[in-house]
C-alpha cells in the first residue's frame, strides 16, 4: 500500500502548549480516512498542521513519498493539499464564483479553471444557480458545498475536511455526508475530521481515534464501529 499522505510522529502546539504528541497516520490513495475524537483532542490542530497553517514542531510528513513537513500553507496547496476549514470560512462578500475562482489561485490550477469549474458545478448544481450571489447569503448546506467546491478548484491530491457537519441542521448534516460519499466515489483521497462519529464511520474506509493529542485507536471503519470503547464513549450505545 503506497501512502498518499503519511505523518510520522508529528507533534505541534501553540506557544508553550503542546496539542499533538507523536501522531502517526497514513492515508492511502483513493481512500477516505476519518479522525474522530472529543472536543479539544487536537483534531483541528492536526488539520492545521497538515495544511501548513501551523508549523510542525517535530516528526515528518510526506505526500506521495515527498517530504512536505514545515512548508507554508500556500506552498502546501501547490503540493496538492486542499483544506476545507472548520466553519467553512467562505469569503462572504465575494460571489460564489469568485470564491471558486480564488480556489484556483495556484498557477497549475488556473490553467484548468474552466474545466474544473464545470466539474464543480456538475457536482453541486446549486452553486451554479447561485454563482453570482454573495457567498455570505447562502444557506449552511450551500456554504459547505461552496467551501468544498473552492477546495476542489485547486485540483488537490488530498482533500482535508474539518468538521464539515458542524453547525448544520440534522437534515443538512445527512446531505453533507452524502456529499462526502460522492466526492470519495469520484476517486479523491479524503481525510475528514468529525465529531459525528456514527455518520463519519459510515462514509470512511479507515479511521483514527485522537484523544488529548495522541492516536488512541486505529482501524477499519467496521472495526471501530464494533469497538466497545468507541461504541460506549462516542456512539452512546
Partner 1 sequence: MDIYLLEAVINGILLGGVLALLALGLNLIFGVIDVVWIAYADLVMCGMYVIFWLYADLGWPLPLACLAAIIGVAALGVLVHLLIIAPILGSAPINQLLATGGLLFFLQNFATLLFGTDFRNIGVRLPIIEVGDIYVSSARLLAFAMALVGAVALWLFLRRTYIGTAIRAIAQDRDIVGLMGVDQRHVYLVTSAIGGALAGLAACLLALQYDVHPFVGNTFGPLIFMICVLGGLGDMIGGFVAAFIISQIISIGGYYASTELSYVLAFTLFIVLMFIRPRGILVR
CB of 77 to partner 1, least distance (A): 4
Query: Cα 103 from chain centroid?
Result: 15
**In a 10 Å sphere around its CB, with 0-12 CB exposed, 13-18 middle and 19+ buried, how is residue 112 labelled?**
middle
Cβ-based nearer residue to partner 1, 74 or 232: 74
Cβ-based nearer residue to partner 1, 19 or 207: 19
CB of 109 to partner 1, least distance (A): 7
CB of 102 to partner 1, least distance (A): 5
Measure the CA–CA gap between 42 and 136, rounded to whole angstroms: 28
Cβ-based nearer residue to partner 1, 45 or 154: 154
Cβ-based nearer residue to partner 1, 92 or 226: 92
Task: Tell me the three state secondary structure of residue 18.
Answer: strand
Stretch (H or E) spanning 107:
helix 107-110
The pairing of beta strand 58-63 with beta strand 32-36: unpaired
CB of 4 to partner 1, least distance (A): 19
What does each C-alpha distance from 58 to 61, 209, 210 come to in angstroms? 10, 20, 18
Can you give the binding site for partner 1, defined by CB under 8 A? 51-53, 72-74, 77-78, 82-83, 85, 89, 91-94, 98, 101-106, 109-110, 150-151, 154
Amino acid at each position: 500500500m503506497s501512502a498518499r499522505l503519511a505523518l510520522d510522529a508529528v507533534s505541534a502546539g501553540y506557544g508553550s502548549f503542546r496539542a499533538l504528541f507523536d501522531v502517526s497516520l497514513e492515508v492511502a490513495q483513493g481512500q477516505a480516512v476519518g479522525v474522530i475524537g472529543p472536543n479539544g483532542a487536537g483534531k483541528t490542530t492536526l488539520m492545521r498542521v497538515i495544511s501548513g497553517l501551523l508549523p510542525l514542531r517535530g516528526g515528518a510528513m510526506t505526500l506521495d513519498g515527498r517530504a512536505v513537513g514545515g512548508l507554508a500553507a500556500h506552498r502546501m496547496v501547490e503540493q496538492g493539499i486542499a483544506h476545507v476549514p472548520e466553519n467553512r470560512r467562505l469569503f462572504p462578500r465575494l460571489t460564489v464564483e469568485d470564491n471558486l475562482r480564488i480556489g484556483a489561485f495556484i498557477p497549475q490550477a488556473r490553467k484548468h479553471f474552466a474545466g474544473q469549474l464545470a466539474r464543480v458545478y456538475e457536482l453541486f448544481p446549486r452553486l451554479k444557480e447561485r454563482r453570482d450571489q454573495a457567498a455570505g447569503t447562502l444557506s449552511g448546506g450551500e456554504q459547505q458545498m461552496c467551501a468544498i467546491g473552492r477546495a476542489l478548484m485547486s485540483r488537490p491530491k488530498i482533500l482535508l475536511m474539518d468538521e464539515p457537519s458542524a453547525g448544520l441542521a440534522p437534515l443538512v448534516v445527512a446531505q453533507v455526508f452524502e456529499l462526502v460519499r460522492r466526492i470519495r466515489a469520484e476517486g479523491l483521497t479524503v481525510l475528514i475530521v468529525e465529531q459525528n462519529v456514527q455518520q463519519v464511520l459510515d462514509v470512511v474506509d479507515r479511521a483514527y481515534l485522537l484523544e488529548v493529542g495522541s492516536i488512541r485507536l486505529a482501524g477499519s471503519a467496521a472495526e471501530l464501529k464494533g469497538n466497545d470503547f468507541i461504541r460506549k464513549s462516542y456512539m452512546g450505545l
